[in-house]
Structure 1
Amino acid sequence: MKKRQGTIFLITFIFFLSLMPTTFSKASELNFSVNAVIPDNQIDKEKSYFDLKVTPGEKQKLKVKLRNTTDKEIVINPHIQSAKTNKNGVIDYTPNKIKKDDTLKIAMEDVAKVPEEVTVPPQSEKDLTIEVTVPKDKFDGVILGGIYLKEDTSKNKEEDKENDVAIKNEYSYVVALQMRQNDNKVKPMLHMNEVNPETQNARNVIVANIQNSEPMIISKLKIDATVNKKGSKDNLAILKKENLQVAPNSNFNIAVPLEGEKLEAGTYILNMKAESAGKEWQFKKEFSISADKATTMNEKDVTLEKETPTMLYIFLGVAFLIVIAVVIYFIIRRNKRK
């Protein structure tokens, strides 16, 4: 029997821009739970994530309580992660392969440090200490990231393998960590970088890279986009998105689906309007698609009706004529014998 090993991640956000209060979990299936210990320099002590007012060069120790809700000792692996934006327009605090944006001057990984692992005895609590060193240089805006906490299940996996366990559930938490030095307002700024045609999930899309170049969160972002062939007013693709969120100094790729429209070689134009908190940005970008690129992408798109090659029609026609000729030949031959 071929084993299947699935991994289900339950990501609990203590911070999600507005408010998602999190205390110790009551769900019995979770092996551990977390609770941020709010320090004196917390901006809003009603929040259950870290939102700190810091001073240049300051050093601070933050605490997160870890509770082991099982009868076995567990090991938790902490990880500090800068906030990034994923392709769905959601701020991501988990370890990922998203590249760091060029405008990010201060990464959370450089500011906060955690031990590689924390061992928590059965049915007990233990503090995780986060060592914070604020940069000596002054900065406006925010530094945003998260403390990612995941149980080390490597030993359990070996036991599961021996016991022929096919599916193993793994759980993780993220405690958000935000820092600022002052209340100076930062002007929001969005940019549209490169635009390229791609095939995603066997469907053709036009991908635009959107960048937030400032140290502030852009929330409730609304995007309207269209794709046209140059010189034509007909929309080949339309995209409408709302309530997107963009992490400070980050970029993400947003896909405009072609919805079954066949790509042809030529020059195209992507028009996009982005709106957030009364601010509006207008973008327009030309891009080209070669004949080879269009053919390759159309062949991969499962929503397109595939054309039957002309040579196949010719072959079928010739084969049909041959069959008819053979039938006529035998009919004539049989009649002559009579």
Structure 2
Amino acid sequence: MIIIVASLLMALAGWPVASVEAVGAGFTVTPQLPANQVGGNKGYFDLLVKPGTRQALTITVANQSAQPKTVKVAITSAFTQDNGQVGYSPSSKRDPSAVVQLVDLASAPVTFELKANEGRKVTFFVQLPDTPLKGQLLGSFYVTDETAPAADDQAGMSITNRFAMVVAIQMQTTEKRVAPHLNLLGVKPGNQNDQAAVLATLQNDQPRLFGGMAIKASVTRDGDSKPLLTQDADKLAMAPNSSFNYALFTKTPLVAGKYWLTLTATAGAYTWRFHRAFTIDAKAAAQVNKGARLAVVRPFPWWWVLIGGLLLIALGLLGLLFWRRKKDEGTK
């Protein structure tokens, strides 16, 4: 299990952090903020950069344990996870709306060993495009302890904890922010977290990080007025030029047919509304239902209740006859 510790979520959480650390991790990561940092020490890189320049980014990785550690440092591009939060781990997920991503411009990952209680500065370089950036370039330093971890046996289960530290990197060539924009790319049945769901793929096609998003969504079978599925969420966030699958979960098997998705997303002053028809065919429904944990719906056992009731009545009658016979014998 990898435990990720982040220094920020920038506009989503603005805690000033001098270094990133976690109990049990045994190492810290501290950003060395350059002169073009915007807004002082936020615990992450928030840089105003110039087109065509080579930006140096330096962090200090310190081993706080009494044992040597093997550490890997990489620069990653931000993306939106299917839980509606910004992710900074290494990922091949790339939205077609992204003209350029941070990982395209940065130095390659490096791996090195730290002695016990040793600290080391690590510098990466980002080569900015010659043309000004439209909006934000967002990613992170992603630092992992590659030392072979010891397994922790808890309640008969072997749990292996590995730690990753994240220090975000945000770059802009102008402090002006572009407005976010949502598209509904598609609606389909699918599985998420081993649950059957209708998945609405939402895309932010602009280079703008934003949070505080709330979604209200429902799925209605064609011809019905009452929604079959509803799913509401808040405090969601999206990375620049990214997409994710918003899931409307079902506890009962999906059935083939035509449906309508109604979805409203709001974030600050921005509102997006979608109303989209989609079809679930029998093959897709069977495939999704097979791979999901569904609530087992069993009919109420009326026959057993009836039989049990008749048995109770019969036993009652037999008892009454037995009592009457005993009473008659006693009066003779």
What's the TM-score once normalised by structure 1's chain length?
0.80
Residue 54 in structure 1 maps to residue 46 in structure 2 = no
Residue of structure 2 aligned with 1:120, choices 110, 114, 121: 114
Q: Deviations over 1:78-125 (max 9, x none)?
A: 11110000011000001235x200011111112221552133222121
Measured in 2, the distance between the counterparts of 1:104 and 1:147 equals 20
Residue 94 in structure 1 maps to residue 86 in structure 2 = no
Q: Deviations over 1:182-215 (max 9, x none)?
A: 1233122100011101234453210010000000
Residue 280 in structure 1 maps to residue 264 in structure 2 = no
Equivalent residue, structure 2, for 1:268: 259
RMSD after superposition: 2.5
- Structure 1: gaps of 5 or more residues: 1-6, 309-338
Letter in 1 for 2:33: I
Kept in 1, the 8 Å contact 2:49–2:55? The answer is: no
Number of positions where the alignment pairs a residue of Structure 1 with one of Structure 2: 294
Equivalent residue, structure 2, for 1:221: 213
Shift in Å, 1:303: 0.8
Kept in 1, the 8 Å contact 2:17–2:42? The answer is: no
Shift in Å, 1:38: 1.0
Residue of structure 2 aligned with 1:13, choices 6, 9, 14: 6
Equivalent residues in 2 for 1:1-338, closer than 5 Å: 7=1, 9-17=2-10, 18-24=13-19, 29-97=24-92, 99-154=93-148, 167-260=159-252, 262-298=253-289, 300-305=292-297
- Structure 2: gaps of 5 or more residues: 301-332
Measured in 2, the distance between the counterparts of 1:44 and 1:25 equals 19
Kept in 1, the 8 Å contact 2:217–2:264? The answer is: yes
Q: Secondary structure at the match of 1:30?
A: coil
Equivalent residue, structure 2, for 1:319: none
Shift in Å, 1:307: 7.4
Q: Secondary structure at the match of 1:113?
A: coil
Runs of 4+ in structure 1 displaced over 6 angstroms? none
Measured in 1, the distance between the counterparts of 2:23 and 2:285 equals 52
Shift in Å, 1:301: 4.7
Measured in 1, the distance between the counterparts of 2:55 and 2:177 equals 25
Measured in 2, the distance between the counterparts of 1:10 and 1:89 equals 18
Letter in 2 for 1:125: G
Q: Secondary structure at the match of 2:104?
A: helix
Kept in 2, the 8 Å contact 1:83–1:144? The answer is: yes
Measured in 1, the distance between the counterparts of 2:103 and 2:38 equals 22
Measured in 2, the distance between the counterparts of 1:28 and 1:268 equals 48
